[in-house]
Amino acid sequence: MKRHLRKSLRAAIVAAVIALPVAAATPASDPTAPQRTLRPFSGEPELAALFRRWVDEAERRRGEQRARQSAGGSAALAQAAPAAAPAALAKEVAAATADSLTNVQHAGVDEGGIVKLHGDHLVILRRGRLFTVRVGDDELRPVAVVDAWGQGIDPAGAWYDEMLIAGDTIVVIGFSYARGGTEIGVFDISRAGRIAHRSTLHLRSNDYYSSRNYASRLIGSRLVIYSPHFLNPWGDPHAAFPALRRWRPGASPADFRRIAPATRIYRSDEPLDPFAGVALHSVTICELAAPQVDCQSTAVLGPPGRVFHVSPRSVFVWATQPRRGGDAGQPASAVFRIPLDGSPPSALKASGSPIDQFSFHEDAGGMLNVLLRADGGGDGMWEVERGGGDLALLRVPLASFSDGREAAPAAAYRRLPPVADKALQNRFVGPFLLYGGGSGWRAPRATQRAGLYVVRHAEGRVYELPLPHAVDRIEALGSNALVVGSDGRDLQFSSVRLGRLPVTVDRYTRGDAAQGETRSHGFFYKPVGEDDGFLGLPISGGGEAAGRQLRQASAAVLFLRNRGLALSELGTLDGRRAAAERGDGCRASCVDWYGNSRPLFIGSRVFALIGYEIVEGRVGPQRIVERRRLDFAPVVQQVAP
């Protein structure tokens, strides 16, 4: 498990390190383009030489360990080894585009989710299966169900988490502990909603899971996947490099083909200590429109802690290096900017760590704004729920990214008021940053007063808005915002006008209720005018811990109407078969890590996906009422004894 080591956000950042060769200057046509970029390794010999130095150092340390042991010493050199890659045990513990069902961070950048729309059909990923349900022509009818893995693949030890659709191609992103990597299942879907498996690609990687982030994005027909690769200096680091194979019966490790050659692996001049942890942060792009899907990776060599953010043009990877005593004044992190057009990455040294993917914002003036905390280890697994420390806003020009030798100056950090709760929520909405603390995955706690902080990121001006509830969710309502949180018993919704002086406008309270989903995709806002719209959120019983979403479907989906930031209840669409999964014959992904309930707005129709049920509602002048429902749980044949 990664350790939390405090980083300094107040000290001036000065780095005196050995410089790498300077890359050629980039054209000035794009004002946000870096003046210099990272250099790749010149070829396999240079990369191999680095790894030989690591192996030699590992052997030297082994020799020292054997000498101490023979002398009766008790020191354990293993403490200096890099942290193990997350194992299977860890698994146990904005405006959207008009036709999207997913609450995405950027319009045009779709995110892997559990439900998508293809023509007249909903496509749902649930507990290791793909389902299609026809909703066209005013229908609500099940069509097909197939396994989310390919023929001949043993799904044991695999988790099929995210789904995306490009044209008539469905991709399912999963992780297999048995096979040790990311699986990309490619399926064809017909206009009639029939699904057929085409192929499965196996991408060598460590686990990508995050309690908040998603591993995959879709931009046009390009599938973008982030993967961490933790390198082991005690063995062969090449064994962890990004590589791809097409699954076939009898597939072996020899089938893997490197997709990140040395000339597409970049690093800054920052000294790396492999015994404290080093990772290849890999961005893999697969062209789904090609007759045969193929993928290529670009990787940056850096510290192991990570948070990544995908914008329409770039992937930002913030890599954090654990620090030991005596070096708090040195940069503890690096932020890499990896363009999606294949041009070379650039980087900037920095301090601290973002909370999650929502901590990044590129504004219209070419500035990158990032909310940071001093004590954070990235967003892998549940790391984001445990961080703490001082908060600061980093604001730097995108053009200041370079070949990795430059550091963000101390003046680029603006200290912000701290938040006591570790489960920090944050969101950029237009020219504002909003943040506050809540309960996260824990049970709601009684709260009489909490604070929402609103920051004008261009000016640094900070406003505190008192709230009678925690900050468990922040969402955009057009150019304004919605804050959702519990007071320990009831679930409360506060609308916030983001004008010259930010102010709370209205509050709606749902008695004896809690959020049924903490994932960002659990919420959806459908605007119907500049200041009006509908919103939906899954809910459960009051006081229930958010962690229940892993094994139980939400009790209902609550719908509210927004009229000029005045909030009113439309009603709920309720689930009835919370225990339907008990007889579904589940063979893989039998825990809902990515949730199971969603509000769905399709044209003028409104639905609630709740486990294996789809409930359609009819919106009247004042209330939403159930129109019909569908139970699409798979029928499992019972074998007679």
Q: What is the residue-wise DSSP string for 300-318?
A: EEE-SEEEEEE-SSEEEEE
**Rounded-to-integer distance, Cα 98 and Cα 535, Å:** 15
What distance in Å separates the CA atoms of residue 218 and residue 222, rounded to the nearest whole number? 6
Higher pLDDT, 451 or 272: 451
Each residue's pLDDT tens digit, 558-583: 999 999 999 999 999 999 875 566 68
What is the spatial distance between Cα 294 and Cα 304, in angstroms, rounded to a whole number? Answer: 27
Enter the pTM of the model.
0.87
- CA dist., res. 222 & res. 320, Å (int): 28
The predicted structure's pLDDT at residue 387: 66
Mean pLDDT of 505-517: 95
Check whether 18 has a pLDDT greater than 70: no
pLDDT > 90 fraction of the chain, expressed in percent and rounded? 62
pLDDT tens string 400-441: 999 999 999 999 999 999 998 778 999 999 999 999 998 877
Is the pLDDT at 88 greater than 50, yes or no?
A: no
Residues 268 and 403: beta-carbon distance below 8 Å: yes
**pLDDT tens string 347-378:** 999 999 999 999 999 998 899 999 999 888 78
Residue 25 to residue 342: CA distance in whole angstroms: 16
DSSP H or E stretch at residue 164:
strand 158-166
| Mean pLDDT, residues 135-149 taken together | 97
**122, 115 Cβ separation under 8 angstroms:** yes
Q: What is the pLDDT of residues 52-72, one digit of tens each?
A: 888 888 778 777 777 776 665
Beta pairing partners, 184: 173, 201
DSSP H helices in 33-174? 44-70, 89-92
Cα 562 to chain centroid distance, Å, stands at: 28
CB 274 within 8 A of CB 231: yes
Give the pLDDT score at 77: 25
Indicate whether 501 pLDDT > 80.
Answer: yes
**Band of the pLDDT at 223, cuts 50, 70, 90?**
very high
- Binning pLDDT at 50, 70 and 90, where does residue 12 land? very low
Average pLDDT, the chain: 85
Highest mean pLDDT out of 232-241, 274-283, 624-633: 624-633
Q: Which of 95-109, 265-279, 587-601 has the lowest mean pLDDT?
A: 95-109
297 three-class SS: strand
Residue 607 contacts by C-beta under 8 Å, 6 or more apart in sequence?
135, 573, 599, 600, 601, 614, 615, 616, 617
Question: What's the CA gap between 110 and 132, in Å, rounded?
Answer: 19
3-class secondary-structure state, position 124: strand
In one letter, which amino acid is 456?
R
Over residues 573-617, the pLDDT tens digits come to 999 875 566 689 999 999 999 999 999 999 999 999 999 999 999
Q: What does the chain come to in residues? A: 641
For the four alpha carbons of 74, 77, 83 and 84, in that order, the dihedral sign comes to: negative
| CA 359 to each of CA 87, 432, 579: distance values in angstroms, whole numbers, following the listed order | 27, 12, 37
- Best CA proximity match to 268, nearest among 384, 402, 373: 402
Q: What is the pLDDT of residue 64?
A: 74
* Buried/exposed code over 443-463 (b: 16+ C-beta within 10 A; e: otherwise): ebeebeebebbbbbbeeeeee
Q: Which carries the bigger pLDDT value, residue 626 or residue 13? A: 626
- Residues paired with residue 218 on neighbouring β-strands, in sequence order: 110, 223
pLDDT over 50 (residue 4): no
Range of lowest pLDDT (15-29, 265-279, 390-404, 471-485):
15-29
